[in-house]
Amino acid sequence: MISPIQNRATYHLRWMCQTWWLFDFSGDQMFGSDTMWKSEDLYELILQTNKESLKLCKPGASIQQIHNYSVAMLRKGLNEIGILKSEASHSYHQLNPTSIGHYLGMDVHDCSTVRYNRPLKPGVVITIEPGIYIPSSFDGPERYWMADATRLDSGIVPREEDQPN
């Protein structure tokens, strides 16, 4: 049975997509404790990937390097918890076809022309957004069918080693 809360959230998201409303839909949407506990290990993997990726956000590193590290971490973790049958890239790509993050400018996604292999400089703002998006056609363990999508978003300003982020 779909709850009134689920109906409102689904309607709101559908309205935003149909009206071309620009948004960065972030936040946890877990409906019912059964769903939450079934995907707790998935959440923990994404949380750990977020924390480790944030540690790499230093001047001189690139979003591409951070992305490659996060993909390796997520592939390994997804294989360990049984979501992926192998760590092959085509298996992972169906669960996350996006980059680990992007530059932030005056608007949420206005820096799309900045290359991801460009070294980060102090003072730029980037996002770190590890996530897994489980499609309805997913051929994995049944316990994850209700997880749908889990993503954590962080904004960060890369700083030198002696400066706190």
Q: What is the pLDDT of residues 52-87, one digit of tens each?
A: 999 999 999 999 999 999 999 999 999 998 888 876
Q: What is the pLDDT of residues 127-154, one digit of tens each?
A: 899 988 887 777 777 666 655 677 888 8
DSSP reduced 3-state for 155? strand
Specify whether domain 33-156 bears CATH 3.50.40.10: no
Smallest CA-to-CA distance from 109 within 61, 151, 155 is with 155
Are 124 and 157 within 8 A, CB to CB?
yes
pTM of the model: 0.72
Smallest CA-to-CA distance from 93 within 111, 109, 75, 67 is with 75
Q: How far is CA 160 from the centre of its chain?
A: 25
Q: Where are the domains of the chain?
A: 33-156
Residue 113 burial (C-beta neighbours within 10 Å; 0-12, 13-18, 19+):
exposed
pLDDT at 164: 52
62/13 Cα distance (integer angstroms):
32
